Amino acid sequence: MRRFQARVYAVACSYMRNAEEARDVAQEIFVRVYERVESFHGDRAFLPWILRVSRNVCIDALRRQKARPRATDVLSEETVQVASEGPTPEEATASGSARDLLYRAMDRMSDSDREVLMLKEIQGLKVEEIANLLKIPIGTVKSRCNRARLDLAMRVRRLDPSYGA
């Protein structure tokens, strides 16, 4: 668990966009892994398997969240605005300014672009593994990933023109 906890927590943060919820969901992911570890076949790589479990748990949590909005979601508009302008979990824990910049840029991307970017460029999954995980064609993964990278690059440039110079 200690070997994968940081990775799983990063994935949960990417999906949930809230530190507390990400921690709860990451814990739930490990509970699910504990329950279903027998379904993991040893001849396959563990990382894609645990990322699949993580994605499923995060999607379940997001669905529950949609069905039963949190108390903060029904507070006044001002409260919500203040909350949304605050740092995201990654921003809160990011140490370097480059990381902070990347998190801010990714926070404004679409969910599908951010997901494929997270799986390929950040977690380092192969295109075939992502296609299998997301159940989409390999060509779609490639084009979506190229588009997401370019989108992120343009957002980063807008936020910090000196990045990469």
Q: Which residues bind another protein (CB under 8 A)?
A: 1-2, 5-7, 9-10, 13, 23, 26-27, 30-31, 34-35, 38, 89-90, 93, 98-99, 102-103, 117, 121-124, 145-146, 149-150, 152-154, 156-157, 163-165
Give which of 22, 10, 110 is closest to 51, Cα–Cα.
10
Residue 65 vs 147, nearer CB to another protein? 147
Instruction: State in angstroms the smallest separation of the CB of 23 from another protein.
Output: 6
Q: Compute the distance between CA of residue 51 and CA of residue 161 in angstroms, rounded to an integer.
A: 34
Residue 34 vs 41, nearer CB to another protein? 34
Residue 131 vs 157, nearer CB to another protein? 157
Looking at beta carbons, which pairs linking 61-67 to residues 24 or more positions away fall under 8 Å? 61/15, 61/16, 61/21, 61/24, 61/25, 61/28, 62/15, 62/16, 65/21
